[in-house]
């Protein structure tokens, strides 16, 4: 994972700014005593302050819904999650470790939550506050990358909007969440200019399927088959001209 070097001083300022912003916008600060654990947990869930990393722009809500699974969210819906018997498609049995994997891997947090940390307790209180599913959620990771069929560019635009735009903005990168997130047309083409079109297509498919995992760096989340089927991916590739 590449991150800008951070000095202790810069980090302190960034934290102080984040704390002030969160206090002002989200009310996580002084009046927190008047809020319930569930309310404070919801604010943490919706905001990037759930990680102390200065460059983090992700909130839990960037990747997870709290209603029944919305397609195109890379992570499953999290209401009820603390009571599930297993996580991450059955590869993790400890809820807090499953959560910390997201904070550290995607959100760059410097330290894992301990089970007694107030933020962890409040997030958990929120996730247990109303219904949700306590069943293990499927998460089928595509390990072997192969080409997909040619798709429908018009449908592909709606796939892009529903799945990728919350981070990448439109195909040219307008309204992206952060300037360090590449645009899916020009930046991607430029970064992989030395490859043939067929190779670029496979690199793109691998990025969507693996995110920052399985040898591919970065901090983008992976898309399992439940979040994005091969047909959706075909349509998206057609829309992006890949």
Between CA 191 and CA 194 the distance in angstroms is 8
* Burial grade of 113 (CB within 10 A; 0-12, 13-18, 19 or more): buried
Q: Does 207 bind ligand HEC (CB under 6 A)?
A: yes
Query: Which stretch, 3-11, 29-37, 75-83, 147-155, contacts ligand HEC (CB under 6 A)?
Result: 75-83
Between CA 186 and CA 200 the distance in angstroms is 13
Between CA 210 and CA 102 the distance in angstroms is 14
Query: Max Cα separation, the chain?
Result: 59
Q: Within positions 20 to 59, which residues make up the interface with ligand HEC, using CB under 6 A?
A: 50, 58
- Which residues, at least 6 apart from 116, have a Cβ–Cβ distance to it below 8 Å? none
One of 46, 183, 189, 212 touching ligand HEC (CB under 6 A): 212
CB of 184 to ligand HEC, least distance (A): 6
CB of 50 to ligand HEC, least distance (A): 4
Query: Which stretch, 12-20, 23-31, 147-155, 217-225, contacts ligand HEC (CB under 6 A)?
Result: 217-225
Between CA 155 and CA 81 the distance in angstroms is 32
CB of 20 to ligand HEC, least distance (A): 20
Q: What does each C-alpha distance from 186 to 173, 222, 235 come to in angstroms? A: 9, 22, 18
Q: Which residue has the tokens 């498609």?
A: 89
Residue number of the CB atom closest to ligand HEC: 218
208: left (phi over 0), alpha (psi -120 to 50) or beta: alpha
One of 22, 41, 75, 210 touching ligand HEC (CB under 6 A): 75
108: left (phi over 0), alpha (psi -120 to 50) or beta: left
Indicate the residue among 151 and 204 with the shorter CB distance to ligand HEC.
204
Indicate the residue among 27 and 89 with the shorter CB distance to ligand HEC.
89
Indicate the residue among 14 and 189 with the shorter CB distance to ligand HEC.
189
Q: Does 128 bind ligand HEC (CB under 6 A)?
A: no
Q: Does 156 bind ligand HEC (CB under 6 A)?
A: no
Between CA 152 and CA 69 the distance in angstroms is 24
Indicate the residue among 14 and 226 with the shorter CB distance to ligand HEC.
226
Query: Which stretch, 9-17, 31-39, 145-153, 166-174, contacts ligand HEC (CB under 6 A)?
Result: 166-174
Residues that bind ligand HEC (CB under 6 A): 50, 58, 60, 62-64, 74-76, 78, 81, 84, 87-89, 95, 98-99, 102-103, 106-107, 123, 137, 139, 163-164, 166-168, 181-182, 184, 188, 191, 204, 207-208, 212, 218-223, 236
């Amino acid at each position: 994972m590449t991150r800008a070097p951070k000095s202790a001083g810069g980090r302190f300022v960034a934290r102080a700014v984040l704390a002030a912003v969160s206090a002002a916008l989200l009310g996580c600060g002084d009046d927190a005593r008047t809020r319930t654990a569930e309310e404070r947990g919801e604010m943490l869930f919706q905001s990037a302050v759930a990680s102390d990393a200065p460059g983090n722009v992700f909130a839990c809500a960037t990747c997870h819904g709290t209603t029944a699974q919305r397609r195109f969210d890379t992570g499953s819906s999290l209401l009820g999650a603390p009571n599930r018997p297993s996580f991450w498609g059955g590869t993790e049995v400890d809820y807090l470790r499953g959560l910390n994997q997201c904070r550290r891997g995607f959100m760059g947090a410097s330290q894992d939550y301990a089970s007694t940390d107030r933020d962890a307790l409040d997030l958990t209180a929120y996730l247990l506050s109303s219904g949700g599913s306590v069943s293990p959620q499927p998460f089928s990771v595509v390990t072997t990358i192969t080409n997909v069929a040619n798709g429908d560019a018009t449908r592909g635009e709606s796939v892009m909007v529903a799945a990728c735009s919350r981070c990448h903005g439109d195909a040219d990168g307008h309204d992206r969440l952060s300037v360090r997130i590449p645009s899916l047309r020009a930046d991607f083409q430029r970064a992989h200019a030395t490859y043939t079109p067929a190779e670029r297509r496979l690199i793109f498919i691998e990025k969507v399927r693996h995110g920052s995992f399985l040898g591919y760096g970065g901090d983008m989340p992976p898309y399992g088959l439940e979040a994005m089927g091969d047909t959706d991916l075909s349509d998206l590739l057609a829309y992006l001209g890949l």
